[in-house]
Chain A
Amino acid sequence: MPERLIEVKDLKVQFATEDGIVRAVDGVSFELARGEVLGIVGESGSGKSVTAMTLLGLTKEKNTRFEGEVLYKGRNVLAMNEDELQEVRGNEMSMIFQDPMTSLNPVYTVGAQICEAIQIHEKTDKRAARLRAIELLKQVGIPNAESRVDNFPHEFSGGMRQRAMIAMALACNPDVLIADEPTTALDVTIQAQIIELVDRLKDEFNSAVILITHDLGVVADVADEIVVMYAGRVVERAPTRKLFYDPQMPYTWGLLGSIPRLDRPRQERLHSIKGTPPSLIRSPTGCKFRPRCPHAFDKCMEEPRLENRVEEPGHLDRCWLSVDEKRRLREATIAGEEEAA
């Protein structure tokens, strides 16, 4: 049994705003063990980034309220003070962000920014830190790392900047790497390289990875388990294979249907989920996906619990449809023939 690193228990994150209370994360639970890759998938505004930032205590503001627990090796991150958080950030858990173009400070060299991460957590002199930075840049596949280390971020391409971000995140050999849409701003060929890199480095550094994305295709190959989020809640959670072969939640079908595929007849248009994600201030009653769900019926006015409904024990979902109905209906949705049906 690999060491359990992170345990999120019924996490709720609420922001008080002028318009009302935003329930950005509303009862999310998951676990992460060393060596694992957890994928968190959902549309914009589903609460996935807030969940990730909360793991590092980065959402702590005066107008934020937390409930539940985020345990890192048994210690509750939500209860830590600023000093303890600084000790964890970048050292034990580190994070890479969506847009590598803006995530590096333009006025410092890439090397200086990596060294900064090293020196804040470890007592190393400048020279040793610099050598480590060069070594890290080599590991993430930057050519000529010895000279590139003194380049400024604007002298790097987008893919190289994301590699540099990864090098910086791994500088102190963290246990957990949180990647918040690491490939969204990159072109497709680079996307695959970055994901591969993260997957390889996870083994080299013996850490665990949380990979956040809106694109199921990105996590398909690397994630061990996938959590699908909608309106701040987990709506389906399953081992990756199960989620792709036997998806239970109509929202997941929508996400799967919106991936372009070569093995299906070419459609006129790519399938999309109709409507927009609900307001997190006044969310719909009952199942949160009900207003957009083509298969909603009376019972959906009451919200289903996240529980196991199929034969596979680790596979949880929030949908009232019977398993047989789901299996029949989803073929149409995923194939994009929903309108004809």
Chain B
Amino acid sequence: MLAFLVRRLVGAFLVLVAVSFITYLIFVKIPGGDPAPRIAGRLATDQNIADIRQKLHLNDPFYSQYWAMMQSLFTGSLKSYSSQLNVVQEIKRGIPATLSLTIGAGIIWLGFGILVGVISAVTAGRLSDRVITVLALIGISMPVFWLGLISRYLFAEGHPLSFLPDGEYVGLTVNPWQWFVHLLMPWTVLAVLFIGFYGRVLRSNVLDTINEDYVRTAKAKGLPPRRVLVKHVLRNSLIPIVTLFGLDFAAVIGGSAILTETVFNLRGVGQYAADSVQSLDLPPIMGVTIYATFFIVLFSVVVDLLYAWLDPRIRPT
């Protein structure tokens, strides 16, 4: 077990290095990627640009630049090229909004995804299953930005139906109730896609598991149907859902929430990333990339551990 953990952590570290290095290369080498002219402004002389290059060590070999950037990132002194704001501070400022959004949405989509999946599997072929299937497909097909704008229009912008505040993030510690009502719409909008998707996946998992021999054994033992469903069918069909959830959740924290954050103006990390990419601002991009990779790597380790806990067959001995 310990060896497994150590191996995974070393692997995770290597992934972090590789991802950050590749991101760095991409942004340095793309046309227009040179930050000096942009920082110098439109009326800059060649001398200005050369000075900036000198000051930012842009003439050094790229690997030493990369090293310097990593050093300043991890010591927390890395500054944005354009706004001169501290990158780590900015990411830290965005984290409460992003985590509030993703954790809340994650709970909603996992809970409803399981509920919807189980209902449609249990009633497979009947009306409720068909209705759920259609709703799930609609949910999967609706783009987040479209659904976000429509729901803002209907529920927040003075429309007769409106009862929710329009966007913005209020800190949990500032006002828990306002935190909740401000996030209700973003949570739902972000979760809809996943509810549909998870419902479909779980439905087919459950239908596969129901035909397993050990489910027949459980029935032959005289267990009540509900117990057979929960202990023998669901327990096994949820294993793949856990993997999906771990990776999706990490991906959402690491940037897939960009659209939701932007639509609802939550000022989370995703929105920060989107703004930085638009202005080709390398330091924040590096910071956000490391942050996102960290969560994805972390959650894939967590998923592996959970997996071993859920399925004794792959438990390392």
Closest 4 CB pairs of A and B: A89-B222, A90-B222, A90-B221, A102-B213
Please report the number of residue pairs spanning A and B whose Cβ atoms sit closer than 8 angstroms.
70
Cβ contacts A to B, 14 pairs, < 8 Å: A56-B220, A58-B216, A89-B221, A99-B213, A102-B214, A103-B217, A105-B214, A105-B236, A107-B235, A117-B221, A120-B221, A121-B222, A154-B313, A168-B217
Q: Is B119 an interface residue (CB 8 A)?
A: no
Chain B's nearest CB lies how many Å from the CB of A97? 6
Q: Are B214 and A86 in contact (CB under 8 A)?
A: no
Q: Contact mask A34-57 → B, CB, 8 Å, 1/0?
A: 000000000000000000000010
- Contact B214 A103, beta carbon cutoff 8 Å: yes
Q: Does B223 make an interface contact (CB < 8 A)?
A: yes
Known: A102-B212, A107-B311. A58 touches B220 (CB 8 A): yes
Q: Is B216 a contact partner of A97 (Cβ separation < 8 A)?
A: yes
Among A85, A88, A120, residue most surrounded by chain B Cβ atoms (within 10 Å):
A120
- Contact call B236/A107, Cβ cutoff below 8 A: yes
- For window 96-123 of A, CB contacts with B under 8 Å fall at 97, 99, 102-107, 116-117, 120-121
B149 CB–A CB distance under 8 Å: no
Q: Do the beta carbons of A104 and B222 come within 8 Å of each other?
A: no
Chain B interface, >50% SS class: helix
Interface positions of B (Cβ within 8 A of A): 212-214, 216-225, 227, 231-232, 235-236, 310-313
Instruction: Determine if A91 and B312 form an interchain contact, defined as CB atoms under 8 angstroms apart.
Output: no
Q: A82-B225, A95-B220, A103-B213 are in contact. List 6 more A-B contacts (CB 8 A).
A: A85-B222, A90-B220, A94-B221, A105-B232, A121-B222, A152-B312
- The smallest beta-carbon distance between B142 and chain A, in angstroms, is 35
A residues near B, CB below 8 A?
56, 58, 82, 85-91, 94-95, 97, 99, 102-107, 116-117, 120-121, 152, 154, 165, 168
Q: Nearest residue in A to B227 (C-beta to C-beta)?
A: A120
Q: Which of B212, B213, B219, B221 contacts A168 (CB 8 A)?
A: B221
Q: Is the CB of B214 within 8 A of A87?
A: no
In contact, B223 and A97 (Cβ under 8 angstroms): no
